[in-house]
Amino acid sequence: MTYNFQTLRGDIFGGITAAVVGLPVSLAFGVASGLGALAGIYGAIAVGFFAAVFGGTKSQISGPTGPMAVAMAVIVTTHADSLPEAFTIVIMAGLLQIALGVMRIGRFVAFTPYSVISGFMSGIGIIIMLLQTLPFLGAAGATGGPLGAVRAWPNAISNINLSALAIAAVTLVVGVFWPQQLRRYFPPTLAALVAGTLLGVLWLTNVPVIGEVPTGLPQIEMPAFSAGILVRAIEPALILALLGSIDSLLTSLIADAMTRTRHNPNRELIGQGIGNTIAGLIGGLPGAGATMGTVVNIRAGGQTQVSGALRAAILLALVLGLGRYVEAIPHAVLAGILMKVGWDIIDWRFITRLHRVQREHLLVMVITLGLTVFVDLVTAVAIGLIAAGMASARQFERLELDRVVSVPLLDQSFFGSEETDEERDAFSARVGLVALRGSFSVASSNKLINTISVDIRDHEVVILDFTETVYIDDSAALVVEQMIDSAIAEDTQYIIMGLTGPPAFALRALNVLQRVPADQFAKDLDEAKEIAQRLLAE
């Protein structure tokens, strides 16, 4: 693509619009994570700039996101007495993302089943909403994650701050019902931030506010590397790295669909990793590709990395010059904004279709959602992937078994006049053909041997036809070995026909064919017939 004035104009508009939209969300995520409003802005600057410059999605906007804020809130709670350890985890997560990109792991994220992604994202949305119920009512945040917030509801309701509730409600209403015709010029999140803040500053002043916010350039947070810290940090760092990678690459797919381009997933992970590493060094909130910011950027005309870098520069200028104005923002305003964000993160499109999806996919989605909310994020993704794999295996089992064709070859039609009258008996079928068509995997391996073993016993010679076999995994390869062993045990002769390509490589790699005589391999059915005649005559 040639970079010209029109492209530059679009990038400028996109960067400015994305900065305006990203400011209130970054502030809100910073407060929600427990690191503070400024950490959210620093994260938006660091991740936004370096992911744009070094990443693989031209029009993507990166910064704090719901999943990363929720994960970071858990880390901050666990390491509340040592924030250097918390930022060390962020740095390690960034380095892990760089490693994933270098090892070219990025493309495998696309293999994550949608039912897992839907359950995970919906769970994140529910967590955000549950955590914001307390500041929405004017109460302080509670420990213990979403369940801790629910347990604190009775006390929060009995001591409700009506001013905070009014501010949060107004903020939420403005964010939801902001006129469509004004959204292009004044984004709803910014309108909600301004309306709620003015209400808190000019009228309902008896509410908790962000408070003092340091201004100026961020200070370097020296990582706390030691053997003990590294052992404790590896699990949460891996969680952050995986969440950030999945979140970013999913947003990249959205950007591809809107711009009709193709992103580089491995380069994107490297860019995100560099951004999160820098964010950890300056005390910023880790981030990922932000769907809302990316969509806004593209719709405003942003086409290249310039728009993302410009957005980060604008946010840096705001931090340097407008930090004192952030101090008066009520927590209830941020709670109202995040309520809308949490609601939007929930995958309503998939949820409204649950009554139509297959039962297995519904179960995977519900399991992932429940574990995300009530256990933890990494357990949810891990168990969700396992459940999705089992559901897919069940589907593939039926498909693969349906592709197995087992037919008796009547002597009269198979051998014709070449055999004696006795052998041309209409009911004589000494040779059977078992054709394995398509792909075969662990999904069908358990039932495959049971399906074929009967046919092996019913014939004197069995032709195992691999002519139309395109793939065999290790489990299915060992089933083929069991077929051969079963034939030998039943004193049944066997012929391997049409075995070439990847299936042949898989069987030979596991020494499955070591007991097969060299003269019992056939290229086609004519050659197999000649071998069968010889074996029957012996």
Mean of per-residue pLDDT scores for the chain: 85
Model confidence pLDDT, tens digit, residues 301-354: 888 999 999 999 988 887 887 666 777 888 898 888 888 888 888 889 889 888
Distance separating alpha carbons of residues 244 and 251, to the nearest angstrom = 11
Identify the H or E element spanning 175. helix 162-177
Could you tell me the pLDDT band of residue 423, with boundaries at 50, 70 and 90?
A: very low
Task: Check the CA dihedral 152-155-158-160 and report its sign.
Answer: negative
pLDDT band at 91 (very low <50, low <70, confident <90, very high): very high
Q: Is pLDDT above 90 for 50? A: yes
Task: Grade residue 103 by pLDDT with cuts at 50, 70 and 90.
Answer: very high
Write down the pTM of the prediction.
Answer: 0.73
Q: What percent of the chain has pLDDT over 70?
A: 95
Q: How many beta carbons lie within 10 A of that of residue 73, not counting itself?
A: 21
pLDDT over 90 (residue 62): yes
The strand pair at 469-472 and 521-522 is best described as: unpaired
Higher local confidence (pLDDT), 299 or 276: 276
| Higher-pLDDT residue of 304, 424 | 304
**Pair 495, 534: CB distance under 8 Å:** no
What is the DSSP secondary-structure string of 132-167? Answer: HHHHHTTPPP-SSHHHHHHHTHHHHHHT--HHHHHH
Stretch 53-70: mean pLDDT, rounded? 91
Which region holds residue 216: left if phi is over 0, alpha if psi is between -120 and 50, else beta? left
Asked if residues 476 and 444 have their Cβ atoms less than 8 Å apart, the reply is yes
Classified as helix, coil or strand, 461 is strand
Cβ pair 245, 109 in contact under 8 A: yes
* Rounded Cα distance, 457 and 4, in Å: 74
Q: Minimal CA–CA distance to 165: which of 131, 133, 117, 119? A: 133
Cα 224 from Cα 38, distance rounded (Å): 21
Helices (H), 403-470: 411-414, 442-457
pLDDT digits (tens, 9 = 90+) for 168-198: 999 999 989 989 888 777 778 778 888 998 9
pLDDT of 426: 60
At 191-244, the pLDDT tens digits run 888 899 899 888 888 888 877 666 667 777 777 777 777 888 888 999 899 889
Q: What are the angstrom distances between the C-alpha of 489 and each of 360, 379, 484? A: 39, 46, 9
Least confident window among 12-26, 129-143, 412-426, 494-508: 412-426
Q: What is the pLDDT of residues 374-391, one digit of tens each?
A: 887 778 888 988 888 888
Eight-state DSSP code of residue 36:
-
| Domains annotated on the chain, with CATH | 5-134+209-330 (no CATH), 353-394 (no CATH), 403-537 (3.30.750.24)
What is the Cα Rg of the chain in Å?
31
The secondary structure of residue 464, as a DSSP letter, is: E
Q: How long, in residues, is the chain? A: 538
Give pLDDT, residue 181. Answer: 85
Q: What percent of the chain has pLDDT over 90?
A: 24
